[in-house]
Amino acid sequence: MPTFDFDLFVIGGGSGGVRAARMAAQTGARVGLAEAADLGGTCVNVGCIPKKLYSYAAGYAESFEEAAGYGWKLPAEPQFDWSHLKSQRAKEISRLNGIYASLLKNSGVTLITGWAQLVDGHTVEIDGKRHTARHLLVATGGTPFVPEIPGREHIVTSDAMFDLDPFPKRLLVVGGGYIACEFASIFNGLGSKVTQLHRRAHLLTGFDDDVRQFLANEMGKAGVDVRLNCEASSIARGPDGLVVTLARGQQIEADTVLFATGRVPNTQGLGLEAAGVKLDESGAIAVDAHYRTSVPSIYAVGDVSTRVQLTPVALAEAMVVVDALFGKGKRRMDYEFIPTAVFTHPNIGTCGYTELDARAKFGEVTVFSSEFKSLRHTLSGRSERTFMKLVVDKKSDRVVGLHMVGADAGEVVQGFAVAMRAGATKAIFDSTIGIHPTGAEEFVTMREPMPG
Ligand code: NDP
């Protein structure tokens, strides 16, 4: 039996990597982890966490506006201090980086700061020093993708959005996915004049069509200038800011241009080829159902092996690997009914199939939907509306799609996702007592199916 320095060596200290390292170490395995940047990866440093903090910040603008309807007289026009928000965020993120470091330390993981490269199926090299391990795990995440376009050097990606200086009075966002919609909403709330360009007829490809239309309408009402079927063809610096020329010739001026046009796996400079690790046609590390790469001793989880680019999915994949190598044994991750939220204003929360996908998979479906002004907005003066939709498989009566656009949709949908994973039928939804008065109760009181 060969001897190794470690039982498991993890490359990448983001969500998936840290979870795998900690949990493996807690079983008694000897674990090493290499990270070249701050611990926590995209989610902690330039993704989920700072984004959600900024989304809260943007939400106050709405609350100030709404307060008058409830009898509050605010002393003066509220002022927003961008520098203060940035420094508060930076402080919180450093705190989280520290927590990640102590979690690793306390579980006995050897943390090595530096860039790791694979040498072979059992060896990594960091700053000229080699370490061997029985198993290797690549969890290096992803990075923003920007298409080739004249003037590309003038744009920023989501990585730079949290520390922009100065605050962009005019922001142009290119893209119609999660990141584009979230930043458009957030900066609109914080006071930027936001224009969002998307090349398709609807935002958020892959989401339910009703949700896509409803959200674009609500974002428009909130002040985002959403331009659909619209592409940027070049960017140049003009006397008063950046000038973005659209494919149809029109020009838009902006202080910051954000390209949120997807993300690609971080596979460069890792020695993957030398070690014999194969990529799939999308450029992600190819893995089997157990996250094993083309080299049997090397595994990959999270965005670098791109199945579903979500932090909780990377965490769950990491646990499948740890269980297989050091724990309960081999099992497969189930990707059905993964709930997700888009932190736009209002939020989207969704679980299961879109109406279109459900029709394709289950055949006949029954659809229930509801659109209303929430109780909060009867006095707030806002015209924001809430949308909810259920898609039910006619044969089994199982609720196979649940979609919401409205306040705290992520919080609402998380609980319903448990019921959906447990196979809840529409009859069970109907027999569930609502909590009154909430928006969420609408999901258990929809009785009349949509025609057709
Ligand atoms: P998405 O894949 O969600 O969206 C990319 C967008 O860019 C799409 O609208 C796409 O258009 C458009 N696009 C792609 N290429 C071009 C191009 N050449 N020119 C113009 N537009 C283009 O990626 P994101 O970067 O927004 O996010 C990546 C992933 O990260 C998400 O899919 C999600 O899994 C995860 N994420 C999750 C969040 C959450 O849970 N709240 C938040 C942020 C990210 P088209 O629709 O035509 O393909």
pLDDT tens across 229-271, in order?
999 999 999 999 999 999 989 999 999 999 999 999 999 999 9
284 within ligand 1 shell (Cβ under 6 A)? no
User: Is any ligand 1 atom within 6 A of the Cβ of residue 200?
Assistant: yes
pLDDT of 452 over the 80 cut: no
- Pairing verdict, β 6-11 and 347-352: unpaired
Question: Tokens in use for 387?
Answer: 């949308």
At 42-91, the pLDDT tens digits run: 999 999 999 999 999 999 999 999 999 999 999 888 999 999 999 999 99
> Residue 277 above 80 pLDDT?
yes
Asked if residues 244 and 257 have their Cβ atoms less than 8 Å apart, the reply is: yes
Asked whether residue 2 carries a pLDDT value surpassing 80, the answer given is no
State the distance from the centre of ligand 1 to the C-alpha of 120, rounded, in angstroms. Answer: 34
For domain 340-444, is the CATH number 3.30.390.30? Answer: yes
Beta strands in 139-231 (DSSP E): 142-144, 170-174, 193-197, 225-227
Average pLDDT, the chain: 97
377-436: pLDDT as tens digits: 999 999 999 999 999 999 999 999 999 999 999 999 999 999 999 999 999 999 999 999
Strand-pair partners of 242? 237, 254
- 207 CB within 6 A, ligand 1: no
* Exposed / middle / buried, residue 401 (Cβ in 10 Å: 0-12, 13-18, 19+): buried
Q: What CATH architecture does domain 6-144+264-326 belong to? A: 3-Layer(bba) Sandwich (3.50)
From the CA of 48, how far away is ligand 1's center (Å)? 14
For the residues 350-357, what does the mean pLDDT come to?
Answer: 98
Rounded to the nearest angstrom, the distance between the alpha carbon of 63 and the centre of ligand 1 is 29
Q: Is 175 in the pocket of ligand 1 (CB under 6 A)?
A: yes
CA angle 90, 91, 94 (to 5 degrees): 85
CATH class of the domain comprising 152-261 = alpha beta
Check pocket membership of 368 for ligand 1, CB cut-off 6 A: no
Ligand 1 midpoint to CA 145 (Å): 9
Model pTM greater than 0.85? yes
Averaged pLDDT, 310-320: 98
Query: What is the residue with the minimal CA distance to atom 24 of ligand 1?
Result: 262
- The 10 Å CB-count burial string (b at 16+, else e) for 365-381 is bbbbbbeeebebbeebe
The mean per-residue pLDDT over the stretch 12-37 comes to 98
Q: What residue type is 300 in one-letter code?
A: A
Same fold, 6-144+264-326 and 340-444: no
User: What are the residue ranges spanned by the domains of the chain?
Assistant: 6-144+264-326, 152-261, 340-444
Which of 96, 111, 99 has the alpha carbon at shortest distance from 21?
A: 111
Dig out the tokens for 152 from the structure.
């590309």
Would you tell me how many other CB atoms lie within 10 Å of the CB of residue 100?
A: 21
The yes-or-no verdict on residue 199 having pLDDT over 70 is yes
| Mean pLDDT of the region 205-221 | 98
| Full strand arrangement of the beta sheet holding 225-227 | 225-227, 193-197, 170-174, 256-259
| pLDDT attached to residue 157 | 98
Q: What is the average pLDDT across 174-190? A: 98
User: From CA 228, how far away is CA 184, in angstroms rounded?
Assistant: 14
Predicted local distance difference test score (pLDDT) of residue 1: 63
Nearest CA to ligand 1 atom 30: 309
Catalytic pick among 84, 154, 345, 436: 436
Nearest residue to 368 (alpha-carbon basis) of 447, 302, 276: 447
Cα R_g (the chain), whole angstroms = 24
Confidence of residue 306 (pLDDT cuts 50, 70, 90): confident
Q: What's the average model confidence in pLDDT over 317-341?
A: 97
Q: Does the C-beta of 84 come closer than 6 Å to ligand 1? A: no
Say whether 135 is catalytic.
no
